[in-house]
Amino acid sequence: MQYPHPILAREGWPFIGAALAASLLVTYALPLPWSLPLWLITAFVVQFFRDPPRALPDRAGAIVAPADGRIVAIERCADPYAQRDALKISVFMNVFNVHSNRAPVDGRVLSVNYFPGRFVNADLDKASLENERNALVIDCSGQLVTTVQVAGLVARRVLCYVRPGDTLQRGQRFGFIRFGSRVDVYLPLHAKPAVSIGEKVRATSTVLALWPQA
């Protein structure tokens, strides 16, 4: 089911409401200088939980970015969730990025596995295997694509809304991570990266990689 994109993510409504209420209360009770820090916090919370709709690229067969952020890894390694060698592409999200997570491919969810863990800086390679994370293995027309939500230094909640057997479409919203994190995508080795280290990407609208025939 496609998420209806209310501009502000539903996960943020309680936080936005609390910040707004606190700002209004202090503004009413005290002079403006006292409430200004709370209004700044409210503005930060609103921008963090923004969740704009995104257009899919026209290129057929493109594997799209699962999150906004910066590419921090493109490497061949073991996929510990699908038990295979794979091409891993990692997107690091800072607190100013949109934190809604989108499906990189069309396919059927084979498994969803949550792993408790640490909360080291998600910009570090060891975060992929040490931090709290949630891994989806997706069957994309016989090709396995693993998408892993990884909590970060500040993040304390990984949210995922799909189950094994669910069908995903490219760009479909499947989860959210609060306050800084990363998403790792493990692809078959024959997939061709379409991004480079350090490049900034946007969920759904940036082509992350291509199947050989694309």
* Cα dist from 65 to 46, 91, 181, whole Å: 23, 8, 15
Q: Taking a C-beta distance cutoff of 8 angstroms, is the pair 205, 189 a contact?
A: no
Gap between the Cα atoms of 100 and 3, Å rounded: 11
H or E segment to which residue 166 belongs: none
What's the number of domains the chain is made of?
Answer: 2
The answer to whether residues 24 and 67 belong to one domain is no
Do the domain assignments include residue 2? no
Q: Which helix (H) or strand (E) holds 29?
A: helix 13-29
Its domain, for residue 30, covers 7-51
Query: How far is residue 174's CA from residue 91's CA, in Å, rounded to a whole number?
Result: 16
- Is position 130 within any domain? yes
Query: What is the model's pLDDT at position 1?
Result: 42
DSSP 117-185: -B---TTSTTHHHHB-EEEEEEEETTEEEEEEEEE-SS---EEE---TT-EE-TT-EEEEESSSEEEEE
Catalytic residue among 128, 141, 181, 196: 181
Say whether both 119 and 167 belong to one domain: yes
Asked if residue 57 belongs to a domain, the reply is no
160 and 68 fall within a common domain = yes
Asked if residues 122 and 152 have their Cβ atoms less than 8 Å apart, the reply is yes
Residue holding tokens 């990189």? 104
Taking residue 6's Cβ as centre, other Cβ atoms within 10 Å add up to 11
Q: Is 111 a catalytic residue?
A: no
Question: In this predicted structure, what is the pLDDT of residue 122?
Answer: 47
Q: What is the DSSP letter of 97?
A: S
Q: Residue 56 falls within a domain, yes or no?
A: no
184 within 8 A of 78, measured Cβ to Cβ: no
Q: Do residues 68 and 38 share a domain? A: no
Q: Is residue 150 part of a domain?
A: yes
| Whether residue 82 is found in the same domain as residue 165 | yes
- Same structural domain for residues 127 and 168? yes
- Do residues 192 and 93 share a domain? yes
pLDDT of residue 142: 93
Whole-angstrom distance, CA of residue 65 vs CA of residue 71: 10
Residues 189 and 104 both lie in one domain? yes
Q: How would you write the pLDDT of the chain (214 residues) with one tens digit per residue?
A: 455 556 888 887 888 999 999 999 999 888 778 889 999 999 988 988 888 888 899 887 799 999 999 999 999 999 999 999 999 999 998 888 888 999 999 999 999 999 886 555 545 565 566 678 899 999 999 999 999 998 866 555 788 999 999 999 999 999 988 766 889 999 999 999 999 999 999 999 999 999 987 5
Q: What is the CATH number of the domain that holds 164?
A: 2.70.70
- β partners of residue 170: none
Same domain, 84 and 187: yes
45 and 89 together in one domain: no
Residues 124 and 45 in one domain: no
Based on the fold, state whether residues 131 and 100 are members of the same structural domain: yes
Q: For the whole model, what pTM was predicted?
A: 0.85
Looking at residue 33, what is its pLDDT?
Answer: 84
In a domain, 1, yes or no: no
Whether 110 is covered by a domain: the verdict is yes
113 Cα distance to chain centroid: 16
139 CB-contact burial (10 Å; exposed 0-12 / middle 13-18 / buried 19+): middle
> Do 202 and 68 form a contact (C-beta atoms < 8 A)?
yes
Tokens of 174: 């499947």
What pLDDT is attached to residue 4?
A: 57
